[in-house]
Structure 1
């Protein structure tokens, strides 16, 4: 059981709390830290979306009044990422954080497969950092600064800057927000235009509402209907609710500067029929990024609170008219057969474009016959490889070699040389370990460190550190300093060989 817990600062992410606890206790070993915090060997992999929080709560001091839902609500960004999910889906996500889940929370909230990616590094506000150190004697990682799309600090209205600490789903270590990783004097601060600042601050005010105020959840069908109603009011949808897609895309692109859409990972090619905005307003069950929900609401001139305070939405209105066809069925069929014969080899999609009005009529009035006579959609040709794997292999091999040098020359506690640690040191995503990178994999397997070699390297490092600090080292001290614990007899014998 933990003897104490650091004060939880306002808007502080749980990762930051654990990092400060580690520093207060003088811990070096991540494994020992996790055991101390969770009362056992529990994985804390994600910077922003921790799991097994029930174990952490059970392991808090007896007089602690912290409740698990309070911890999730106030010290993780989950309110933002589940804001546009249903009540049931949101509950599943929260249960996963409390009890643990086989998959990452990122996958449950739709981040893993989204085009809108999380930040690569934890961000910090220069003014918050200075104020924290003046009033608290230390600074901390704020969750509002880590929200995807956050370019500014809402409090000080200054641009955020990247720290040196990675924000990932596979934590290497727990690192505090201090001067070593927030080198503000040598960081080049981006100068954004006043228009980008205005748009982003408005975005951040909606983010604040989702993080701190909103607890409502709406089904996706309600949200889609709400959007259709508002688009109808702006003459971007018909009275029946059919969207004027081209007009919508054009108006959206004209509203936002191209630079801002790029910064928000939401650039739009108006000539591409599969751009994200076209797909976003379709009525399907796919998760949408909350960032893009807020962009659409902002475009519509709405606050996010307007959506969640709304109690009813109409959406599309089905046509009730039973119009009789002007032409005879046989005449329409003859025209469709002729169209097929005149365009041999055309796919259904191509036939739809060629015979636009005819196709719509046949589908509405004679669908079974259409399915019988119209050629099936041909299989798509295999897409040409857009990745030059040989070139990528050479580049990854270079990155791997540099990463291994970095790991071996690391001044702190040794990190085991394995493919995962090499990838993290290289600062790249999981594609780095793709099986098509044959030369890279050959190198990774060649330099992978077996457990005994790694233990010996840690032992030598611990002995050198202790000798430098206090001029002597005992077996027990080396065991603890290297993070082995004091009860491993095999390690004890190995240490004796090097003392």
Structure 2
């Protein structure tokens, strides 16, 4: 049993508390410190999801009122990463953290197969760090600064910085948030105002999840909630089928490409299996809370509304009920009489002869109709009713007009591709018919060269940035155009264009 525990600061990671305890006691051996804290020797691999917390609480001084639940809810990342999991999954993770038995928490949350990775190092705000030193004589690692996707400190609105402390490692060397691993220098912000605004909104929502205790919802419920909101925006049909191309277009218009890249959620609009197309589908795969928050932000929905909603519709079958107005036997006799008087007639001919009656029988007595009505035995050879040569000419003109519209589109440029041309026209599957020879050839040849597309985006970004205050740098242009910061080839192209 330990004799004391340092005062736990608001929003402090348990890892940070243990690190301060180790420093206060002057311990050099991690193994001795862990055995002292937990009453037994265990392996600690995660700063975000500590385990064996029941043992930790039992080893505290008798006067301590600290509980396992308080530690998990206020000093670990559990509330954030389980917000969109079912009550059953969240409870399983809670029990593993409390008892220390079972699978790794990260695998249950879905880190292993997720494209959204947690930060490698523990992060901190340099202004918070400096203020802590002045106020407490020490600083600490905050949970809210470790949330995936958070770029800024919500209090001071400056960029977070990486410490030298790894967030996941086998056998930690517990380190305090001190001058050895942190400093007070504030980073220069390279991001445009729009990206900062989007991320601060995301950060505030993420912190509400971290500090709140929201009721868990089944994934099917959450998906149905999203469908209801998309339906209200005209992005889904009455029965809940999504207009996915429109959803994708709206989503990409709302979030800049560069921001989605930063948030590990970039979307290739021409990839039919990009993450957004599978996001609002019912399956048992975990979705990162980061992407849930992005989607709620796109829908302009307060997170409280999701968790306080008790009834959803989602997908539904729309069935029209009809009540027959005539006696069924009387109708049957009338139809049999028509068949008898017109032997050899096809179903189409009988339908024409018995207008109204055929509709009634077909709708209300379909099974009987199929039994007694003769089937067509011979068919006339079908002739193609479409003049494909003329249709090809019409489609070719539409495709050419679409290319002009794409190139003259206001706002951020989009690449001229066959998919984009068809989307602009609003063409359906028939537009891909191989009989539209010239149209198909034009679609293949009109695909914009990637270099030309990059130049268009760069010139657009330069024009947009020139309307804002401040200097125009190649790095700013690169981010604003949506290329990300690591494309050296693009950077050289930008510098060449700026030099002109």
Asked if Structure 1 and Structure 2 have the same fold, meaning a TM-score greater than 0.5 normalized by the shorter chain, the answer is: yes
The separation in 1 between residues aligned to 2:209 and 2:26, in whole angstroms, is 36
Cα distance, 1:319 vs structure 2: 3.6
The separation in 1 between residues aligned to 2:71 and 2:183, in whole angstroms, is 29
Q: Report the 3-state secondary structure (helix = DSSP H, G, I; strand = E; otherwise coil) of the residue aligned with 2:123.
A: strand
The separation in 1 between residues aligned to 2:376 and 2:79, in whole angstroms, is 55
Classify 1:278/1:96 alpha carbon distance in 2 versus 1 (closer, same or farther; 3 Å).
same
For the Cα contact (< 8 Å) 1:8–1:17, is it kept in 2? yes
Q: Report the 3-state secondary structure (helix = DSSP H, G, I; strand = E; otherwise coil) of the residue aligned with 1:237.
A: coil
**Equivalence map 1:332-347=2 (5 Å):** none
Cα distance, 1:50 vs structure 2: 0.4
For the Cα contact (< 8 Å) 1:80–1:211, is it kept in 2? yes
Classify 1:247/1:60 alpha carbon distance in 2 versus 1 (closer, same or farther; 3 Å).
same
Cα distance, 1:285 vs structure 2: 1.2
Cα distance, 1:283 vs structure 2: 1.1
Cα distance, 1:189 vs structure 2: 4.1
The separation in 1 between residues aligned to 2:16 and 2:36, in whole angstroms, is 16
For the Cα contact (< 8 Å) 2:79–2:212, is it kept in 1? no
What TM-score, normalized to structure 2? 0.64
Q: Report the 3-state secondary structure (helix = DSSP H, G, I; strand = E; otherwise coil) of the residue aligned with 1:122.
A: strand
Unaligned runs of 5+ in 1: 336-354, 358-499
Query: Which residue in the other structure is 1:408 paired with?
Result: none
Query: Which residue in the other structure is 1:31 paired with?
Result: 31
**Equivalence map 1:215-254=2 (5 Å):** 215-254=214-253
Cα distance, 1:321 vs structure 2: 5.3
Query: Which residue in the other structure is 2:111 paired with?
Result: 111
The separation in 1 between residues aligned to 2:251 and 2:170, in whole angstroms, is 36
1:87 aligns with 2:66: no
**Equivalence map 1:31-180=2 (5 Å):** 31-180=31-180
Query: Which residue in the other structure is 1:205 paired with?
Result: 204
What TM-score, normalized to structure 1? 0.64
Query: Which residue in the other structure is 1:305 paired with?
Result: 304
The separation in 2 between residues aligned to 1:7 and 1:104, in whole angstroms, is 29
Cα distance, 1:167 vs structure 2: 1.2
Unaligned runs of 5+ in 2: 322-361, 383-427, 431-500
**Equivalence map 1:87-486=2 (5 Å):** 87-185=87-185, 188-320=187-319
**CA offset digits 1:427-486 (Å, max 9, x no partner):** xxxxxxxxxxxxxxxxxxxxxxxxxxxxxxxxxxxxxxxxxxxxxxxxxxxxxxxxxxxx
For the Cα contact (< 8 Å) 2:45–2:171, is it kept in 1? yes
Cα distance, 1:316 vs structure 2: 0.6
Cα distance, 1:79 vs structure 2: 0.3
Cα distance, 1:356 vs structure 2: 7.6
Q: Report the 3-state secondary structure (helix = DSSP H, G, I; strand = E; otherwise coil) of the residue aligned with 2:101.
A: coil
The separation in 2 between residues aligned to 1:129 and 1:100, in whole angstroms, is 32
Query: Which residue in the other structure is 1:437 paired with?
Result: none
The separation in 1 between residues aligned to 2:128 and 2:248, in whole angstroms, is 38
Give RMSD over aligned pairs.
2.6
Query: Which residue in the other structure is 2:16 paired with?
Result: 16
